[in-house]
């Protein structure tokens, strides 16, 4: 009888242990699933945060040439009339220098604030000899593309800040010549035919 009770007890315990195995396995699977779900949520959250941060950085690095356009308009108004032949950032981007040529070929230098909305000091008339006036008249006569048109064409070619833009002579042809600094810091040096707007050169400047 004692042997029978012992054997029966062992059998009962064995059966109970076997019966409990599916429950343990089920609980383990639930726990694993929960952990994976938590991990996925964490990853998703992390990815979302990273994306938001990246988006913020992209937005923060977005560039605009509104100040340059404003500087051009402000300089024209300050001189009263004429054609803008050059505009560029100065003082580490905290101001603009704009050159305006009036109908007689005289060059006027205007400085504006960083936003391009106000003149710093008074327009200064440059001392120009006959050759200077003749060159200015040649530039303005050849430039069917205005400075505003040139800004738009530069922006079409490269998204970035135009740091300088001006009329110049390139191999006997009048061109709009300037630099665009993109969001990565790369400087693109571009020349456009001042008459047609066609690209003459478009190169990455590696000098700095």
Residue 4 has pLDDT above 90, yes or no: no
Q: Name the CATH topology of 66-205.
A: Nuclear Transport Factor 2; Chain: A, (3.10.450)
- Alpha-carbon Rg for the chain, nearest whole angstrom, is 36
Residue 72 pLDDT > 70, yes or no? yes
CB contact burial 111-128 (16+ within 10 A = b; e otherwise)? bbbbebeebeeeeeeeeb
Predicted confidence at residue 64, as pLDDT, reads 86
The model's pLDDT over 92-141, given as tens digits with 9 standing for 90+, comes to 999 999 999 999 899 999 999 999 999 999 999 988 899 999 999 999 99
- What are 19's two structure tokens? 């019966």
**pTM metric for this prediction:** 0.69
Q: Residue ranges of the domains in the chain?
A: 1-62, 66-205
Lowest mean pLDDT among 40-49, 80-89, 109-118, 185-194: 40-49
**DSSP structure class, residue 104:** T
DSSP characters for 9-35?
Answer: HHHHHHHHHHHHHHHHHHHHHHHHHHH
Instruction: With cut-offs at 50, 70 and 90, classify the pLDDT of residue 63.
Output: low
Minimal CA–CA distance to 160: which of 201, 124, 205? Answer: 205
Is 46 or 101 the better-scoring residue by pLDDT?
Answer: 101
Give the whole-angstrom CA distance, residue 188 versus residue 205: 6
Among 49-58, 109-118, 164-173, name the one with the lowest average pLDDT. Answer: 49-58
């Amino acid at each position: 009888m004692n042997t029978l009770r012992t054997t029966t007890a062992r059998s009962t315990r064995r059966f109970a242990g076997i019966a409990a195995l599916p429950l343990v396995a089920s609980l383990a699977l639930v726990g694993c699933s929960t952990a994976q779900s938590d991990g996925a949520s964490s990853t998703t959250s992390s990815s979302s945060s990273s994306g938001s941060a990246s988006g913020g950085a992209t937005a923060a690095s977005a560039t605009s040439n509104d100040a340059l356009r404003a500087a051009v308009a402000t300089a024209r108004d300050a001189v009263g009339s004429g054609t803008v032949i050059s505009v560029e950032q100065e003082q580490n981007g905290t101001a603009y220098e704009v050159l305006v040529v009036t109908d007689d070929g005289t060059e006027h230098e205007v400085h504006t604030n960083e936003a391009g909305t106000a003149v710093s000091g008074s327009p200064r008339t440059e001392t120009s000899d006959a050759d200077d006036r003749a060159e200015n008249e040649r530039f303005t006569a050849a430039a069917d593309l205005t400075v505003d048109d040139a800004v738009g064409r530069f922006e079409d070619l490269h998204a970035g800040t135009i740091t300088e833009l001006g009329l110049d002579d390139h191999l006997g042809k009048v061109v709009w010549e300037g630099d665009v600094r993109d969001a990565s810091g790369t400087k693109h040096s571009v020349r456009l035919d001042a008459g047609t707007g066609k690209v003459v050169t478009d190169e990455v400047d590696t000098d700095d």
